[in-house]
Structures are given as C-alpha cells and as structure tokens.
Amino acid sequence: MEQAIVRFYRITEVFRSYAITYRMNTMAKVCLTDFEEYAKQHLSKPTWDYYAAGADECCTRDDNLQAYKRIRLRPRILRDVSVSDTRTTILGTEISFPVGIAPTAFHCLAWHEGELATARATEAVNTCYITSTYSTCSVEEICAAAPNGYRWFQLYVYRERKLSEQLVHRVEALGYKALVLTVDVPYTGKRRDDIRNQFKLPPHLKVKNFDGMFQETAELEEYGVPSNTLDPSISWKDIHWLQSLTRLPIIIKGILTKEDAELAVEHGVQGIIVSNHGGRQLDGGPATIDCLSEIVDTVQGRVEVYMDGGIRTGCDVLKALALGAKCVFIGRPAIWGLAYKGEEGVKEVLQILSEEFRLSMALSGCRNVAEINRNLIQVSKL
C-alpha cells in the first residue's frame, strides 16, 4: 500500500512538472520576469548558472535590482500625454527608445543562432547592440546577418596587444560605430557556481572572433582563449594607445566613481557606461543606479553617460533617464529572450520594455524623452 502511494505521488509530481512546463510554454509573456522563469526552466543548469552568476555572495548583483525599488517618482498630471515619443539619440544616431543590448558572451548557449538572432532583433527594433568580444559568432557573421543594424563593439585589452589591434581594425572596417572598452576586468571575478560546475564552452562552440589567432598547441581556458590573456597592467595611458589605432568614438564601460568619470573626460573619451559588470566582478561594490547621479553631475554634459545593471521594467528605464542616463543597456534579459524564442524572443523583450517605458512616461506626465529630468525623482529623507 505504501509503495502504491509513493508511486501515485511520483506520478502526480511528474504530471505537475509537465503542466508547469506546458503553461510556461503557452502563456503570453507579459513582463521580463516571465522570460527569466522560462529560461531557468529550459537552459541547462551550468548554462543558467553562468548567465545568472554574480561574484562571491552576489550582493552587488542583487543590489542592482533592489536599488530601483528604493527610488520613487513624482508624477505630474494634466499634461496632455495623448501623443508620446520614445525616440532618442546616442552619439548622434537616432534609436527608437533608450534601451540597447549590453555586451554578453556566448549567445549560442541560449539559442542555436546566437548573436545572429540578437543582431537581427535589435536591427528590427532600431536600437543599439553592443557586440561582445566573446561572441560565439564572428563580427563578420553578425554584420552579414543584420547589415543595417546599429552596433558598437566591446573590447578588452590583452597582454598580446596585437589581438586587440586586429579586432579594432576588423570592426572599424565592418562599420561598427564605436568601441566600448571594458575596464573592470583586470582579473576575472570569482563566480562560485561556475567553479562548482567546472563551466566550459561545449566542444561545438567557440569564440569565433579568435579563429586562427592562436597556435593549436596553446592551452585554452574555458572561454576559448589562452589563459592569462587579459592585461592587468591596463591603465589610463592605454586610452591614448587605443585612440592612436582608430577614429571610432571610445566609450569606457565599468566606471562607478566621479573621480574616474573626470579622468575619462580628461582622456578624451566620448562616453561612459556606468557598470559593475552585472555584479560579476567586485562583490560589495555599489548598485549602478546609485552611482549615476554623481557621475552625471561630474561630467556636466561633456560626454554622454549610459548605464547597465538591474533594468527589468520600463519604469526602471524612466528612473535611470531621470537621473541623467542618456540610454540604458540590458544584459541578462536579452539572454532570456533568446532562450525563449531566439530573434523573436529578444524582440519581445525589447518591445515589452518599450511599451512599459512609454506607459511610465505618460503616467509621469512626460510626452517625450527630453521632458524626463531629475524633478521626477523623489529625494529620500534620511
């Protein structure tokens, strides 16, 4: 009798699991959390853990999300919001709304077409896609897949500088519009789940941008490039070195303090992305939205300021713009969209954010992006 009861409960659990999966597959996705739940259910555990990981105890990763919940808005009423316009410009190019795709690695882990699907989705929505150095499709393949897309290229500085030089020349020739220099990875942060899972790219995938750049005898690390390639000696003088290689605008990604923002301006960069690498590098650092105001106040419009980290709703986008961001970039949500339905999934994620942003603007009394300012933010009283 007991065995029969156990079998009954096991069968019940199996059917319950199938029912949950069926519901997640068939239900309309109405917010980014729906895509997150789908991805967690359908990606392998090592892949999910890789994308979801934060450094060490994940305090900074989690605070990126919680910080938005601490910010309140001051909506204005009776403003005639019958017509609204979400368009804006970044580096002089118009995009449909102020949300782009942040550089994230290994899109083919989430969807077989990988970065090709991401590029087509952002082209269709008319926004910016920052292509990662660690893409599982090459920059040439990405450009061919979405020839009219607006793209920037994310770059690291390597001990072997010719690697960086070759990438710069390739993307400039292909028509990429800016270089995004990531500066917060002199060493890779400790991501505990990746260590436990012994995370590596599966044999059928590789970092396509490095094809043919290494000898076959080179010992490759999990990311498909030789170990110890990133240069921890990178410093401000390397900004001038990079400027000597290209005419492309240079944007620095990974600034969190007013002191470094001032140095960035002094070194002639064209933009700053306020970023803590999605909480994947230094645990215990601040949430990006909490750093935004002091950086905007420091640069005083001399360069454009963008940010990433923790954006999950259109209201989050509104808060970031009210605090001075010109545009925000999403990382993990794009991966969730890929895992759901490839190109169509990324488009859905962007479209949901766009409509939520439009609604948040209207409910706050803003008819266009130019009307969003710091007066919308309620200052907390200590």
- Distance, CA of 160 to CA of 379 (rounded, Å): 47
Amino acid present at 241: W
Q: Could you give phi then psi for residue 205, rounded to 5 degrees?
A: -115, 150
194 is in an annotated binding site: no
302 is in an annotated binding site: no
Indicate the SS3 state at residue 361.
Answer: helix
117 is in an annotated binding site: no
What phi-psi label fits residue 373: left (phi over 0), alpha (psi between -120 and 50 degrees) or beta?
beta
Bridge partners of 88, per DSSP, are 95
- Distance, CA of 68 to CA of 288 (rounded, Å): 10
308 is in an annotated binding site: yes
Query: 42, 107, 204, 277: which one is catalytic?
Result: 277
| Spatial contact of 168 and 155, defined as CB atoms under 8 Å apart | yes
| Spatial contact of 180 and 273, defined as CB atoms under 8 Å apart | yes
| Spatial contact of 110 and 338, defined as CB atoms under 8 Å apart | yes
Amino acid present at 307: M
Q: Is 277 a catalytic residue?
A: yes
Q: Could you give phi then psi for residue 155, rounded to 5 degrees?
A: -130, 140
DSSP track, 175-204: T---EEEE-S-SS----HHHHHHT----TT
Residues in the chain: 382
156 is in an annotated binding site: yes
The separation between CA 304 and the C-alpha centre of its own chain, rounded to angstroms, equals 17
342 is in an annotated binding site: no
42 is in an annotated binding site: no
41 is in an annotated binding site: no
- Distance, CA of 52 to CA of 159 (rounded, Å): 28
332 is in an annotated binding site: yes
182 is in an annotated binding site: yes
- Distance, CA of 206 to CA of 224 (rounded, Å): 6
| Spatial contact of 275 and 308, defined as CB atoms under 8 Å apart | yes
275 is in an annotated binding site: yes
23 is in an annotated binding site: no
93 is in an annotated binding site: no
103 is in an annotated binding site: yes
Tokens for 76?
């204005």
For residue 126, give the nearest of 162, 166, 103, 94 by alpha carbon: 94
161 is in an annotated binding site: no
| Spatial contact of 96 and 87, defined as CB atoms under 8 Å apart | yes
253 is in an annotated binding site: yes
- Distance, CA of 224 to CA of 203 (rounded, Å): 10
For residue 155, give the H/E element and its range. Answer: strand 150-155
Which residue ranges make up the annotated binding site for glyoxylate?
50, 132, 156, 191, 277, 280
Which residues are part of the catalytic machinery?
277
Binding site, by residue number, is 50, 103-105, 132, 154, 156, 182, 191, 253, 275, 277, 280, 308-312, 331-332
Q: Which residues are annotated as a binding site for FMN?
A: 103-105, 154, 182, 253, 275, 308-312, 331-332
